[in-house]
Homo-oligomer: A and B are copies of this chain.
Amino acid sequence: MKIIVNESLPNNEECANSLKNVLDALYVINGKWKLAVILCLVQSSKRFNELQHEITGISSKVLAKELKDLELNDFITRTVYSTTPVNIIYEATEYSRTLKNVIGELSYWGEQHREKIKQSMRSQSRNL
């Protein structure tokens, strides 16, 4: 008979591995703009200036850097159409859609958390 102790408490090694995975994931999607760019391109493919207009506040330098980075990580593709003038289209890849669950969970938790913060601010102001 196997006795399961601490079912919900992973051991040290599992935990360290999990942490490593989580930090890897965070490293990739981190930064002020990465997810904004991805979400924007998941909605529809766009050109550089279209992105810059839709993502308010991003500078061309930062956008260019983010796009390079996202292309390297296979989240988006950059296609040059040799029309005149040349047309450059950025598209979200299928791979970027694997983030769906991650984004879903983060969004859900973030919403709950904001509600909680609001609640605790309300109860604090009652105590003033």
Q: Give the interface of A toward B (CB within 8 A).
A: 9-10, 12, 15, 18-26, 28-30, 35-36, 39-40, 42-44, 74, 95, 98-99, 101-114, 116, 120
Q: Which of B23, B35, B103 contacts A35 (CB 8 A)?
A: B23
Write out the residue numbers on chain B whose beta carbons fall within 8 Å of the beta carbon of A35: 19, 22-23
Contact check, B26 vs A26: say whether CB atoms are below 8 A apart: yes
**What's the Cα separation between A104 and B109 when bound, in Å?**
12
Contact check, B15 vs A43: say whether CB atoms are below 8 A apart: yes
Task: Add 4 more A-B contacts to A9-B44, A102-B109 (CB < 8 A).
Answer: A19-B36, A21-B114, A22-B106, A28-B113
Contact check, B25 vs A113: say whether CB atoms are below 8 A apart: yes
**What's the Cα separation between A35 and B35 when bound, in Å?**
20
Kindly provide the distance from the CB of A20 to the nearest chain B CB, expressed in whole angstroms: 8
Contact check, B107 vs A25: say whether CB atoms are below 8 A apart: yes
Which chain B residue shows the least CB distance to A38?
Answer: B19
Contact status of A107 and B18, CB under 8 A, knowing A43-B9, A43-B12, A112-B98: yes
